[in-house]
Amino acid sequence: MEKLVIRGDRDLRLKGEVRVSGAKNAVLPAIAASLLTSEQLRLSNIPHVKDVETILTLIAELGGSYEIAGDTVSLRVPKIRSDEASYELVRAMRASILVLGPLLARFGKAVVALPGGCAIGSRPIDLHIAGLQKLGATISLEHGYIQAQADRLHGAVIEFERKTVTGTENLLMAAALAKGETILKNCAMEPEVADLAVLLNKMGAKIDWVDEDTARVRGVKELGGATHDIIPDRIETGTFLVAGALTAGDCLVRGIVPENVGNIIDKLRASGATVETEGETALRVVGSRDVRAQDITTSPYPGFPTDMQAQFMVLLTQAAGTSIITETIFDRRFSHVNELVRLGASIEVQGDKAVVKGKTPLSGAEVVATDLRASAALVLAGLVAAGETTVTEIEHLDRGYERFEEKLRGLGASIERAGT
Ligand code: EPU
């Protein structure tokens, strides 16, 4: 088991340039889309993170093949050997559920382990299932596995009860090969969902957006190969922007789409940082030692992302005054709070709210990473905590951040990976 050892400094100012990788949450559905065609899918700008390895393993277990060259993966699934996504893989990564729609649509059958509990909340998948049933699938739950079957899916009008990212993605992929027209209402509008629709259209799907959260999918008989460049990771972007703001640094975050982080930029500016675009694909953040407290409520895109809540909380521990963070997406996404308190933060959780009292000096300690974004938050806190901070269980971090410590070192942080 590896850990990260950070030599923190309350006066640290991160400086320099960092390049953001491709979006984890865009590449996962894109890889799942390879199941929709017998032709080759070529995806570039893929991040080298553990979740990508996990979904590639799943594609291979199902009978597909892939080849990686640099940041490009080429995938082919001419036929399948198995239609089952094992509990082992689904437990390792809930996004494995993304194979359900494509397998069902192309092969008429899918067996996918029901994801169990999760560190950040209960995370049911009832909306994926209800949507697929509306497309004509017969679905039952047996021995912990979702058993789904359909001769050929057919179009339907589906309104999601609440916005779901992977739910929308599963339904877009399934409807792409269904007979007739599907209308998906109240779709998640995250850029990763839009990116998947772009890829599917390149493969021959007929998806258009009737309005910003309603998709019309005219089903086609088959889909073909495509080449696609994965969009930059907006959560990694936001994480480095917060790192710059937190350390009163001056950082240029490159290779990004500034419009996709609008709400994060607004909150950073409100907290006292200067954030400016540099050309079309970079943002410069200049932090201030006078961080202002503010309230944040997470909500679906284009609202403030739940995936940035933990990192922003760290910034608010250094703000003058009290901030209230309300988490509306997941019911248990405050596991980083107790660890931040070990570093000296003053945070109290009251139901779906975390009350952060700033400005507390942080001091290094050993802390445990509990989920992906919590891990990034603990690393950020360690940067400005006096003395040494050790973050253990960083396999969570490695699921979604590519070379995180190396990129931070490039900005002047003192951080090393070590075995335990
Ligand atoms: N929900 C239901 N029923 C469903 C599906 C979702 O009640 O059938 C609820 C969830 O419990 C949650 C809310 O709807 O309360 C939104 O969940 P959503 O389905 O949108 O989440 P997800 O698709 O499982 C994706 C990202 C997460 C990100 C969330 C929210 C991927 C692979 N994962 O998860 O990313 O937090 O959307 O934006 O795209 C991360 O990268 O760290 C991460 C957790």
Dump pLDDT digits (tens) for 52-64: 999 999 999 999 9
How far apart CA 239 and CA 313 sit, in angstroms, is 11
pLDDT of residue 123: 80
Q: From ligand 1's centre to the CA of 180, what distance in Å? A: 28
CB 74 within 8 A of CB 46: no
pLDDT tens digit string along 179-192? Answer: 999 999 999 999 99
pLDDT of residue 323: 98
pLDDT tens digit string along 141-195? Answer: 999 899 999 999 999 999 999 999 999 999 999 999 999 999 999 999 999 999 9
pLDDT of residue 206: 98
The mean of the pLDDT values for the chain is 96
Residue nearest to atom 24 of ligand 1 (CA): 166
Catalytic residue flag (residue 118): yes
Q: From ligand 1's centre to the CA of 327, what distance in Å? A: 13
How far apart CA 386 and CA 365 sit, in angstroms, is 9
> 221 burial class (0-12, 13-18, 19+ CB within 10 angstroms)?
exposed
Judge whether residue 122 has pLDDT over 90.
no
How far apart CA 80 and CA 88 sit, in angstroms, is 19
Q: From ligand 1's centre to the CA of 125, what distance in Å? A: 9
The atom number, within ligand 1, closest to the CA of 128 reads 8
Tally Cβ neighbours within 10 Å of residue 209. Answer: 14
pLDDT of residue 124: 87
Q: From ligand 1's centre to the CA of 365, what distance in Å? A: 31
CB 64 within 8 A of CB 107: no
- Token reading at 334: 């405050």
Residues 6+ apart with CB under 8 A from 272: 245, 287, 288, 290, 291, 292
CB 394 within 8 A of CB 369: yes
pLDDT tens digit string along 351-400? Answer: 999 999 999 999 999 999 999 999 999 999 999 999 999 999 999 999 99
Substitution candidate for ligand 1 out of 21, 24, 25 with most atoms within 8 A of CB = 25
Confidence of residue 311 (pLDDT cuts 50, 70, 90): very high
The atom number, within ligand 1, closest to the CA of 301 reads 38
Q: From ligand 1's centre to the CA of 372, what distance in Å? A: 14
pLDDT tens digit string along 84-121? Answer: 999 999 999 999 999 999 999 999 999 999 886 667 66
Q: Are strands 346-350 and 214-218 parallel, antiparallel or unpaired?
A: unpaired
pLDDT of residue 420: 64
| Dihedral sign, Cα of residue 38, residue 39, residue 43, residue 46 | positive
Pocket of ligand 1 (CB under 6 A): 25, 28, 95, 121, 123-128, 162, 164-167, 188, 192, 306-307, 329-330, 372-373, 400
Q: Are strands 387-392 and 274-277 parallel, antiparallel or unpaired?
A: unpaired
Substitution candidate for ligand 1 out of 122, 306, 329 with most atoms within 8 A of CB = 329
**Virtual torsion, Cα 340, 345, 350, 352, nearest 10 deg:** -50
Question: Among residues 60, 68, 114, 118, which one is catalytic?
Answer: 118
Total-model pTM: 0.97
Residue nearest to atom 25 of ligand 1 (CA): 165
Question: What percentage of the chain carries pLDDT values higher than 70?
Answer: 99
How far apart CA 199 and CA 28 sit, in angstroms, is 12
CB 67 within 8 A of CB 73: yes
- Token reading at 330: 């997941």
Substitution candidate for ligand 1 out of 159, 166, 306 with most atoms within 8 A of CB = 166
How far apart CA 250 and CA 261 sit, in angstroms, is 18
Burial track 150-181 (b if 16+ CB lie within 10 A, e otherwise): beebbbbebebeebbbbbbbbbbbbbbbbeee
pLDDT tens digit string along 12-64? Answer: 999 999 999 999 999 999 999 999 999 999 999 999 999 999 999 999 999 99
